[in-house]
Structure 1
Amino acid sequence: MKNILLLTVSLLFTVISFSQSDEEKAQANNPLASITAFNMQQYYSPNLSGDSEATSSTYWLRFATPTGRVLWRASVPVGTYSSDKTGLDESGLGDVDLFAAYLAVSKPKFTFGIGPSVSAPTATSDYLGTGKWTAGAAAVVFAAVSAQFQTGALAIWRTDFAGSSNRKDVDFFAFQPFAFIQAGKGVYFRTAPTWNFNLNNGNYNVPLGIGVGKVLKINKTVLNFFIEPQYSVLHKGPNQPLLQFYSALNMQF
């Protein structure tokens, strides 16, 4: 699979210009936009806690589509974990998850969704998944404060209810605050780190990041490219990304 990080860097500031409305620019970063979308996202970390010679990379293929007031989002991760120190080199499918967000409020300037979130133990390696069925809830809020500034957050909690008895229990919480500042001509600055907390063993990772993106429109498809370096300011436990690059190509149809 072609590296999204390199794709994003090469296409981010394309010289081809297409017009987009202010609303399209704002909604391009709305995770609850009531629009069919397909996203290709990558988290790449060249530095993990506990093993300076370990690296990880996860591609997320996400498809979202609305049915009435429910927005369905399926996410398929494909990951790689390698360490020269231990000799490990694992690549394959991770745990697939599904989120069904009921759009309690769905307006151009404010969106709020809440609903169940589940994941299946589809990982092809123990290093790429939990080995457990998990279920919980997620909530997302998105506010277009103005044409130049949008903000919001996502919160998700899940715990295991079935799966391999030989694998560790799952009880985690993730929180992702995000903000976008439009700079003009489809270019914007962004921050959207995900803070992960393992409630079972007390491990956590709290990164901060600042990135840049560009929104453009080709025919009826809105394309959103971005790259966001993130640095962990607080962490506990092994295999936590100390530095990672979050990049993506998001498409809304």
Structure 2
Amino acid sequence: MKILPIAACALACVAALPARADEELQKKLANPVADMISVPIQLTSTLKTGPQERPQHVVNFQPVYPVRISENWRLINRVIVPVVSSPALTPTQDRVNGLGDITYEGFFSPVKPAGGAIWGVGPMLQMRTATDERLGSGKWAAGPSALVLAQPGKWSVGALVTQLWSFAGDESRAKVNQMQIQPIVSYRLSPVHTVGYLGTITANWEESRSSQRWTVPVGMTYSTLVKPAKGAPINFVVGAGYNVVRPDNAGTWFVRAQATFIFDK
């Protein structure tokens, strides 16, 4: 008679394994320096951009590839390739579409971080690759990037901070001296569903007027993890937000859709 409770317990444990695996995968998705190969494809549309108040669309291809460089350290390589559709600045101009400035980020991160805090630091390089002057800065720029993250319980809380300074490029274009703060705040509702903060805070230090220096968005995302019978798992994200602080001619509302394809190492 004791066999039935033991069998029921075993079946419950087996059923819980996929849920635990999904939750661990979600924790990795919230961690920019996770040991996981992924290819996020992200579409962001920002409304009322520019003096003509037309939408701007950006598709970012962001492959992430971690490399174990020693017993204790790994290097997380991330490339951001933007394809941009930018609205006209004057009534006589046309919308311009093309490649923006490609960015590389490399994070050196410990394999087993002490104290439970996940972190990574490394270089960032922005390349002058835009196919039109309205799609990029016209500059080469570089600087540091740093990440700190904690994942207590169902939460992921942290921040990714970068700073870029231009060092070469078109002398007639404005210098790049820009900081970005990407807050990381998400909560796992279930093994496959998550809600989180959406937005990246930007400061243009070349702008002398404080009213034109900062962009501060407030937004929210909802994501769901899908595991097809065949093929790689995919995490789908939708979200929207509003730039509560913004320079003149910056967009107001923005919406985002993203699909992250996850691959085995």
The residue that corresponds to 1:210 in the other structure is 220
Structure that is richer in helix per residue:
2
1:114 aligns with 2:121: yes
Gaps of 5+ in 2: 1-17, 69-73
What residue in structure 1 maps to residue 40 of structure 2? Answer: 39
One of 125, 136, 145 as aligned partner of 1:129: 136
* Structure of higher CA gyration radius: 2
Q: What is the CA distance between 1:41 and its match in structure 2?
A: 0.8
SS in 2 for 1:135: strand
154-163 or 177-186, which moves further after superposition? Answer: 177-186
1:75 paired with 2:80, answer yes
Equivalences, count: 234
Partner of 1:174: 180
Q: Do the aligned residues in 2 keep the contact of 1:105 with 1:112 (CA within 8 Å)? A: no
Equivalent residue runs for 1:232-243 within 5 Å: 232-238=243-249, 240-243=250-253
Q: CA deviation at 1:84?
A: 8.4
1:227 to 213, 232, 238: 238
CA separation in 2, counterparts of 1:84 and 1:43? 19
SS of equivalent to 1:174? strand
Tell whether the 8 Å contact from 2:52 to 2:89 is kept in structure 1 after alignment: no
Which residue in the other structure is 1:59 paired with?
A: 59
Percent identity among equivalent residues?
A: 23
5+ long unaligned stretches in structure 1: 1-16
- C-alpha contact (below 8 Å) 2:64/2:76 kept by paired residues: yes
The structural deviation recorded for 1:126 is 1.0
Comparing both chains, which one has the higher relative contact order based on Cα–Cα distances under 8 Å and sequence gaps of 6 or more? 1
The RMSD of aligned alpha carbons is 2.2
* CA distances 1:104-151 after superposition (whole Å, capped 9, x unpaired): 4655964211100001110011111001000001111222111x2112
- TM-score (ref. length: structure 1): 0.85
Detail structure 1 runs of 4+ shifted over 6 Å in the superposition: none
Q: Which residue of 1 aligns with 2:12?
A: none
Distance 1:118 1:55 in 2: 27
